[in-house]
Each structure stands twice: as structure tokens, then as C-alpha cells.
Amino acid sequence: MWLEILLALVLGFVIYWFVSKDKEETLPLEDGWWGPGVRPTAGEDESIRPFKVETSDEEINDLHQRIDKVRLTPPLEDSRFHYGFNSNYLKKVISYWRNEFDWRKQVENLNRYPHFKTKIEGLDIHFIHVKPPQLPSGQTPKPLLMVHGWPGSFYEFYKIIPFLTDPKNHGLSDEHVFEVICPSIPGYGFSEASSKKGFNSVATARIFYKLMLRLGFQQFYIQGGDWGALICTNMAQLVPRNFYTLTLLLGWRFGRLFGYTKRDMELMYSLKKIFFNLVRESGYLHIQSTKPDTVGCALNDSPVGLAAYILEKFSTWTNPEFRDLEDGGLERKFSLDDLLTGVMLYWTTGTITSSQRFYKENMRLGNRHEGIKVHVPMGFAAFPCELIHVPEKWVKSKYPKLISYSYMPRGGHFAAFEEPELLAQDIHKFMGLLERQ
């Protein structure tokens, strides 16, 4: 009798293993409440409200007074950017910020695209929604959700949007025309921060999915880098049949160490160098994954400290060789107006601490989504100066339906901000491959 039971159990396990090993597992589409206090009994206001970025003399004067009181430590001789942001170059940034940077003009620039807010799970969610100025006859725009990371913002997509919404007038084919939705992650910029512990990428993915449903999109495309890559991955794990994943810029999972191409080997150099680079560039990660509020107190109080902390990432994450330059190479890829606008989105909203908490909430052990594959068509753009090169073999271990893998000719971590035309071209390439399937 016991032998029969044992054999039945073994047979049952074998059948279960064969049936379930290729099963498309999904994350549960749950619900949450992240606003202050308890969830109200009345239904949530689902209206979508226009929003406008604004500033004031008081806000600008306070910034200038704080800049005027800055205390800098002289850099070591010939240290360049190897010790972090070089304070000699920081003086130039501060001078420009204080005397030439026009925040009112940048606010007008931010408002050139339509902004909105809506309440989801107790949080006021901010987003821009840009529709095509014109469409070829018989075409409808393809909805595309684009998600930023840290220390970025929705502003990173301002330069790529015209290549997607108006491609013909920007040198690309109009075979694919998009309407683009760029939300702010809760706790970043103009999106309200969670009042409760535990708000992670899965909760964000669920909120952004609800946002797209609220906008009337049952099927849509998604694209993201940094945290945006993980949020987009989680969206595909929540509702895998409703949309397609475009061009993830940062890999979050590692596969087996074989199957590399020659280009992979060129980009990866050696495991020793990869390890050294990760150690050198990940100090912020450990701080923000453990005690984000402590460093947040300093950064939220000092605009110059905040600028140094953020802009140092736009130097070394754009190109690791920029550490060897006295100015960190910042103005080789970006303008000071663009860089300082990004800093101002953290400064004026006071969201640096809440943005850093996202690391602590996502670095918990046992996240279920880590073991779930993504079963939607997916494209990946491998930019050569990204923090970690992710070979195609690794990507396929997590995203079995990878249909486009591109070795990009140049670019780093902030691809949409740095190389908007290249990224737009790769998105158009992905669309063509997808529609020919």
C-alpha cells in the first residue's frame, strides 16, 4: 500500500513538472492603498485633471540664497572625477545655476507638453500625454508608456517624443506613429509619495497599468530603463497578454555565463573589471537600499549637494571614461540647462528622499517576480556604456520571446536623454519586426 502511494506521488510530481515547467506564470493583479491613513469607504475619484508646472519668486529666491551660502571642499590635485564630483568644476555649475539658468523659461519648456494628474490607490499620479500632431491617412497612433528611473524623471523623454509622435518631420518613417504617456514614479517629481512602507516596483507597475486602463487603453506598448525596466517587466508579469515590452535598457537578471558573441566579450572585458566597476559605482545603491532617509536629509536641504550627487551619475553612467576628465564630460552629451532642469525637478518637489526609498522597498529578499519569466514579445537595446552589459543569452533566459536585440553604436545609461534618435530608431525597428511576425 505504501509503495503504491509513493509511486503515485512520484508519478504525480513528474506529470506536474512536465505540465507546469513551461507554464506562463503571472503575478497576481492585487490592489493597494498607499495614501495617508486608512482607505476611505467612498470610491476613489477617478477623474483626470490637467496640471501645470509652476514656480514663484519665493521658490527662486530661496534657491539663490542657499546657493550663495555654499561651502565647498577643494579637490585633491589631479583627482578629476575619481573621488566623485570635482568641486572645481562644480563652481562653474553653481555660477551658471545662480546667474544664468532661467528656471521660469524651463518651466515654460516643461509645459509645452500636456500634463495631468489622477488618483490611483490613494496617490496623486502625474503624467504627460502627448498625441501626434498629425497622422497618415488610415493610421491610428500606437499607445506607448515610457517609464524613467533614478536619478531621472519624465523630462528625460522630451527629446525622443518628437521622433515617436511626429517621425516623418524628424527624419524617420511614419509607418509607426505613437502617442506617448510618461508618468512620474510615485515619490518622484510631481507624483505623490507613498505614506506607507512596502511601495515597490510591483505596486508601481499595477498603478501604471490602472493608469493606462483609465486612459482607455486595453493594449499598449511599454518601454523603460533603470527602474523603468523593472516596472515594465512587472507590468508584463501582471497582465502578460495586454501589451508588449520595448527596449529595456538595464538587465536585472543574470543567466549562465556562456553563449557570448565577440561584441559581448568586447563590452564585458573581464569579470574582474566588471566586479571592480560595480563596486566603484554602487556605493549609492547600498546607502539608498538601507538608510535612504539619512542622506536624504542632507540632499533635501542643500541644492548644491543635491546637484553634485545627481549630476555625478550623469557623468560616470553616461561614459565611465568621463571619470578621467576635469569636468566629468557632462557638457559633451548634455546642456547645463537640461541637467539643471532635472535637478530642479527633485529640488522644487522635495522628492529626493522618497525617490531613494524606492531602493529600500525593492531590495527585499524573496520578491516573487524575480523568478517569473516574461512571455510577451520584447526588444532590448544594449548601449555600450551601460553600467552592466547584458548579453542576448542572458536576456532570453528571462524574456523567452525576445525578437529584437540591438548592439547600439554609442550611448550609456540615460539613453532616451542622451541618444533620443538612436533609441527611437530601435523602437521603430522593434515595431517592424513585431508586425512581420
Q: What is the DSSP string of 393-412?
A: HHHHHH-TTEEEEEE-SS--
Q: Is the pLDDT of residue 279 over 50?
A: yes
Through-space distance between the first and last CA atoms of the chain, rounded to whole angstroms: 53
- Active-site residue (options: 359, 369, 375, 389): 359
Identify any residues that bridge with 356 across adjacent strands, giving them in sequence order.
Answer: none
Annotation says 284 is catalytic: no
Closest C-alpha to 118, from 192, 179, 189:
192
Instruction: Fill in the DSSP letter of residue 242.
Output: S
Kindly state the cell numbers that stand for 390.
Answer: 547584458
Residue 40 placed within a domain: no
In a domain, 426, yes or no: yes
pLDDT tens by residue, 168-192: 999 999 999 999 999 999 999 999 9
Per-residue model confidence as pLDDT tens digits over 331-366: 999 999 999 999 999 999 999 999 999 999 999 866
Annotation says 226 is catalytic = yes
273 band by pLDDT with thresholds 50, 70 and 90: low
Residue 44 lies in a domain: no
- Whether residue 128 is contained in a domain is answered as yes
Q: What's residue 257's pLDDT?
A: 36
What is the residue range of 349's domain?
84-436
Query: pTM of the entire structure?
Result: 0.90
- 34 within domain boundaries: no
148, 176, 369, 413: the active-site residue: 413
Q: How far apart are CA 221 and CA 358, in angstroms?
A: 24
56 assigned to some structural domain: no
Q: How many separate domains does the chain show?
A: 1
Q: What is the greatest pairwise CA distance in the chain? A: 88
Domain at 130, CATH number: 3.40.50.1820
Is the Cβ–Cβ distance between 385 and 411 less than 8 Å?
yes
Which of 226, 309, 375, 389 is flagged as catalytic? 226
Domain membership flag for residue 51: no
pLDDT of residue 42: 87
Residue 359 annotated to the active site: yes
Question: Is residue 69 included in any domain, yes or no?
Answer: no
Sorted by sequence, the CB contacts under 8 Å of residue 35 that are 6+ apart come out as: 121, 122, 123, 192, 195
